Amino acid sequence: MSPDQISLGFLIVDVAKLMRRSFEKHLAGNRLPLSQARTLIYVAKHQDCRQVDLADMLEIKPITLARLIDKLELADLVERRRDPNDRRAYRLFLRPKAEAELSTVALVAEQTRRQALRNLSSDEAQALVFALRHVRTNLSA
């Protein structure tokens, strides 16, 4: 295999790592660290999901998610409710206070996106996102 054939995966990993760093830098000084912000976003997208299912979506261990949810509960951002069909499971919901945090996270995400796409034309940025969505679809199949 030539280096060009191998480099796509490395490039994607490097870009993801750099975007995470940029996001964390822009998020600095806010109340939530990246791990909690990411968890809050997933709860917002998947309200009423079981805690164990959210751990799978986030690709983290259930105990790690439980600690993150504990912190988000203490901050009054997330609420656990018993699953009516499984007394051992919990379902996750946003608390009203979460909207302000999600707005802050959205602003930080927009700053990071702008930084990442700086010096690309609108058409180039759209083509990049379009291509990455296709790559994701190809690998998800």
Q: Where are the domains positioned within the chain?
A: 3-140
Q: How confident is the model at residue 30 (pLDDT cuts 50, 70, 90)?
A: confident
- Global pTM? 0.82
Task: Give the rounded percent of residues in the chain with a pLDDT score beyond 90.
Answer: 78
Q: Which pLDDT score is estimated for 3? A: 61
CA angle 109, 110, 113 (to 5 degrees): 85
CATH C-level class of 3-140:
mainly alpha
Q: Is the pLDDT confidence value at 1 over 80?
A: no
* Mean pLDDT, all residues of the chain: 92
**pLDDT, tens digit, 9 for 90 and up, residues 113-123:** 999 999 999 99
Express each pLDDT in 39-48 by its tens digit. Answer: 999 999 999 9
Crossing angle of helices 3-27 and 98-117, in 10° steps, is 140
Q: Is the pLDDT of residue 5 over 70?
A: no
* Cα 94 to Cα 19, 73, 126, distances in angstroms: 26, 9, 32
